[in-house]
Amino acid sequence: MAKTDKKPLAGRTVAITRPADSSEPLRRRLEEAGAAVLEIPLIRTVRDSREGDIAEMFEDLWSYEWILFTSASGVRFFFEHFFEKFEDIRSLGNARLAVIGQGTATELKKLHLKADLTPKTATGEALAEALIAEQSLDNLNILVITGNLNSDVLPKKLEAERAIVDCVQVYRTENCDISAHEGAALFREKGADAIVFASGSAAASFAAQAVHLKTSPNALRPAACSIGTATSEAMKKAGIPVDAEAEEASPEGIVAALAKLFSKKAAR
């Protein structure tokens, strides 16, 4: 009889901090790897934009050579606006699409759209560098879809290469009050083997609500896992140690990072 491989996260409890409306892919992948998942949605994303900006963006949509999406939320909220204005995906025009990471690329795939460019590292700087390596940006029209907390590193690097950049905000990220949340209560009581941060804003929210997430003396003390370098920097800034970092900014990358971390601990 063939030996059945043990799932890499079997017997582990992993807390995730993604918004409730975007946590399913990560939850599913962790559960497939054998983990019990505890959801603590520290942030939420809500549609937020100025009508004038949206109207002007769609008037000029035909003129953009590239549309850049810096998050999966940006994809979702951009296309909410898009399909309120247009009936046909072909109205998107001939613009090429670039995304900041695999999670954002996956969100595009739900619309049967393929990202033309995805950097190896999921940061705004890496996306800018990948685009610069792709072609000359001199006098190129680029649309960057953003949220309220986006860094200005990406547009500044593009403008330094003489690109014409328009940034349009389509959503806002805000903290969720988890003081009475069931997941937070379980986390305080029992802890977890690991807690995963998939954005810098989640790390900041964790630090801001630390009083509601302090574990009891007998609870497991979780290792902290980051989805990538930008989130790791935000975690350090918030005073959260980075015990593991995904090499690929995706649910699969997080599972691999946690499996590697727990394997090392087991070997000690």
Complete DSSP assignment for the chain: -PPPPPPTTTT-EEEE-S-GGG-HHHHHHHHHTT-EEEE---EEEEE---HHHHHHHHHTGGG-SEEEE-SHHHHHHHHHHHHHH-S-GGGGTT-EEEESSHHHHHHHHTTT---SB--SS-SHHHHHHHHHHHS--TT-EEEEEEETT--SHHHHHHHHTT-EEEEEEEEEEEE---TT-HHHHHHHHHB-SEEEE-SHHHHHHHHHTGGGSPPPTTSB--EEEESSHHHHHHHHHTT----EE-SSSSHHHHHHHHHHHHHHHHH-
pLDDT of residue 5: 59
Rounded Cα distance between 230 and 236, Å, is 10
User: Cα dihedral sign for 152, 157, 159, 163?
Assistant: negative
> Would you state the structure tokens that stand for residue 102, as one six-digit string?
């695999």
Which amino acid belongs to residue 266? Answer: A
pLDDT of residue 268: 63
Give me the residues of the chain with pLDDT under 50, please: 1-4
Place of tokens 């328009």: 166
pLDDT of residue 1: 34
Q: Which domains does the chain have, with CATH numbers?
A: 13-42+176-267 (3.40.50.10090), 46-173 (3.40.50.10090)
> Would you state the structure tokens that stand for residue 12, as one six-digit string?
């582990």
**Mean pLDDT score across all residues of the chain:** 92
Q: For the chain, what's the residue count?
A: 268
Place of tokens 């810098």: 200
User: What pTM did the predictor assign?
Assistant: 0.85
